[in-house]
Amino acid sequence: MLKEYKTIERIAGPLIFVKKTEPIGYADLVRIQLPSGEIKNGQVLDTSRDTVVVQVFEGTSGIDRETKVKFLGENIKLSVSKDMLGRILSGAGKPIDNGPDIIPEKRVEIIGAAINPYSRSSPSEFFQTGISTIDAMNTLVRGQKLPIFSGSGLPHNEIALQIARQSKVVGEGAKFAIVFAGMGITNEEAQHFMRDFEETGALERAVVFLNLADDPAVERLITPRMALTAAEYLAYEHDMHVLVILTDLTNYCESLREIGAAREEVPGRRGYPGYMYTDLASIYERAGMIKGRKGSITQFPILTMIGDDITHPIPDLTGYITEGQIVLSRELHRKGIFPPVDVLPSLSRLMNSGIGPKKTREDHKQVSDQMYAFYAEGRDLRGLVAIVGEEALSDRDKRLLRFAQEFEEAFVQQGSREDRSIQQTLEIGWKLLSKFPKRELTRISNDFKEKHWKGQE
């Protein structure tokens, strides 16, 4: 029989301080019953012989000193089952789609243990998103974590939806699932996501966790962990390839800061807690593949850069943990280009291990390098043209300038319903490259030029 306490001493922000008599375990789950009968949940943040500090997931509004507190003696768990597919759950893991309760096959702690680095297998299988700028230029690999660095007002949600619709793992009989976790997103955004999932049938293979903007901030801290626990269950127990979309990590980090401030911790850079790197790592590092298991977890975290500043602590710490980043550009967005992916600062660290013969195509690497080099040069020239005028440019420079424009309009630009295979993407690339004389394609070897170059000498 669990003891019930009515000994709340202090309430501050999302935290309550409780006096107690029996020893309480660190990180244990707490059930809080308000005089009105409402039930809230919390977790032990600090436990000592006399007092316990509890963070309340649903916020402390309505809690008074008469409120009853019960310590459950276990860590936060999620009930997992294969029936979760097709369901919409709250940020705390409860069904909110008016469907039946999920009958658990298992209850799993949401604080995932770290994968032993020795047990990991190197990610090396191509993951097709159907988006040219990702597939060709910043290839995603199964088991990778590749965030989208976006900004307010940029169409990152559209891109996330497109990826969710179009994602394919190349390989036979591979079972595919999506786990979607919305953290602090608006009601409107959530509805948009749900409608799209339902219309396109993506919902059938998806598990959705929603923590909305007006849901308690503290709940946001458990939402991604719930999602990843579900993902791990599907990947490692049901051999599925799981794509996890987490949006928006910026809201998550804000909550982390809020809790830190309520605990009166010493703040780090810009007021974010000093342990934010470790905390984010405990989310991102749950992507991967394990030797001897068939499933995989690939992560697409989305974050909005505050003031479009890539050196802000949230994108900065993220970039140090994830294996690359896809950066969206406001300039491209203004030009009406979708998806507005700026390939120059974007990077996929695992690209080289996921492309080439038998995976994508033998010329993939060289085509991508060549386009990258030309586009970079072309963009530099735009600055020069503004000063000296296009007349002063050499023929090659003019070609580069034109390439930069066509690259944006024909290669980067694609419809939100346009699903390009990697072959189609590379063909578009060759079409653009064929406008250069063969000798200027210095990064492509002769045999590939013979095979794919379609220009005129």
Residues 166-205 contacting another protein, CB under 8 A:
none
Report the site for another protein in 397-426 (rule: CB under 8 A): none
**Complex with another protein: residue 201 or 274, whichever CB lies closer:** 274
Distances (CA, A) of 18 to 41, 61, 259, 264, 285: 14, 16, 17, 17, 34
Which range binds another protein by CB under 8 A, 146-154, 168-176, 289-297, 422-430?
Answer: 289-297
Q: Which of 54, 81, 78 is nearest to 68 (CA)?
A: 54
Detail the DSSP E strand segments found in 120-205. 127-128, 148-150, 168-169, 175-185
Distance CA 203, CA 84 (A): 11
Burial class from Cβ neighbours inside 10 Å (0-12, 13-18, 19+) for residue 35 reads exposed
Question: DSSP 3-state assignment of 237?
Answer: helix
26 touches another protein (CB under 8 A): yes
Question: DSSP 3-state assignment of 290?
Answer: strand
Residue 140, Cβ neighbours under 10 Å: how many? 29
Return left, alpha or beta for 308; rule: phi > 0 is left, psi -120 to 50 is alpha, else beta.
Answer: left
Among 10, 39, 48, 64, binds another protein (CB under 8 A): 48
**Complex with another protein: residue 189 or 369, whichever CB lies closer:** 369
The answer to whether the beta carbons of residues 18 and 68 sit under 8 Å apart is: no
Report the site for another protein in 361-400 (rule: CB under 8 A): 369, 372-373, 376, 384, 387-388, 392
Tell me the closest approach of the beta carbon of residue 78 to another protein, in angstroms: 15
Among 313, 339, 354, 429, binds another protein (CB under 8 A): 313
Q: Which of 162, 155, 157 is nearest to 129 (CA)?
A: 162
Report the site for another protein in 332-351 (rule: CB under 8 A): 344-345, 347, 350
Per-residue binding letters, 229-258, with another protein (x by CB under 8 A): ------------------------------
Which range binds another protein by CB under 8 A, 169-177, 222-230, 283-291, 432-440?
Answer: 283-291
Report the site for another protein in 122-161 (rule: CB under 8 A): 122-123, 143-144
321 touches another protein (CB under 8 A): yes
Distances (CA, A) of 118 to 146, 232, 298: 22, 18, 19
**Complex with another protein: residue 213 or 281, whichever CB lies closer:** 281
Distances (CA, A) of 71 to 18, 20, 77, 297: 11, 10, 14, 33
Among 213, 277, 434, 438, binds another protein (CB under 8 A): 277
Among 31, 59, 68, 75, binds another protein (CB under 8 A): 75
Among 49, 334, 358, 439, binds another protein (CB under 8 A): 49
**Complex with another protein: residue 76 or 428, whichever CB lies closer:** 76
- Which 8-state DSSP code applies to residue 347? E
Report the site for another protein in 108-127 (rule: CB under 8 A): 111-123
Distance CA 409, CA 279 (A): 40
27 touches another protein (CB under 8 A): yes
324 touches another protein (CB under 8 A): yes
**Complex with another protein: residue 286 or 420, whichever CB lies closer:** 286
**Complex with another protein: residue 251 or 296, whichever CB lies closer:** 296
Tell me the closest approach of the beta carbon of residue 111 to another protein, in angstroms: 6
Distance CA 114, CA 228 (A): 12
